[in-house]
Amino acid sequence: MTDRYCVFGNPVAHSKSPAIHAAFAEQTGEAIEYTAIAAPLDDFAGAWRRFVAEGGRGANVTVPFKEEAFRLCDTLSQRARRAGAVNTLILGGNGLSNELKVYGDTTDGVGLVRDLKRHGVTLAAARVLVLGAGGAVRGVLEPLLAEGPASVRVANRTAAKAESLAADFSELGEITGGGFDAVVGQFQVVINGTSASLAGDLPPLPEDLFAPGATAYDMMYGAEPTVFLRWAAEHGARPEDGLGMLVEQAAESFFQWRGKHPDTAPVLERLRQAL
Interatomic CA distance for residues 224 and 140, integer angstroms = 24
The segments of the chain whose pLDDT lies below 70 read 93-99
Q: Which residues pair with 75 in a beta bridge?
A: 103
Positive or negative torsion for Cα 199, 205, 207, 209: negative
The answer to whether 115 and 141 have CB atoms below 8 angstroms apart is: no
What pLDDT does 99 receive? 64
**CA angle at residue 127 from 77 to 272, to 5 degrees?**
65
What pLDDT does 98 receive? 56
pTM of the full predicted structure?
A: 0.95
> pLDDT tens-digit profile of 178-208?
999 999 999 999 999 998 877 888 999 999 9
Question: Of all helices (H) and strands (E), which one includes residue 22?
Answer: helix 17-28
Q: Point out the residues that are catalytic.
A: 66
> pLDDT tens-digit profile of 127-177?
999 999 999 999 999 999 999 999 999 999 999 999 999 999 999 999 999
Q: Which amino acid is at 144?
A: L
Give, as one character, the DSSP assignment of residue 55.
T
What pLDDT does 240 receive? 98
Domains of the chain: 3-106+245-274 (3.40.50.10860), 109-241 (3.40.50.720)
Q: Please name which of 101, 71, 96 lies closest in space to residue 86, comparing C-alpha atoms.
A: 71
If you average pLDDT over every residue of the chain, what do you get?
Answer: 95
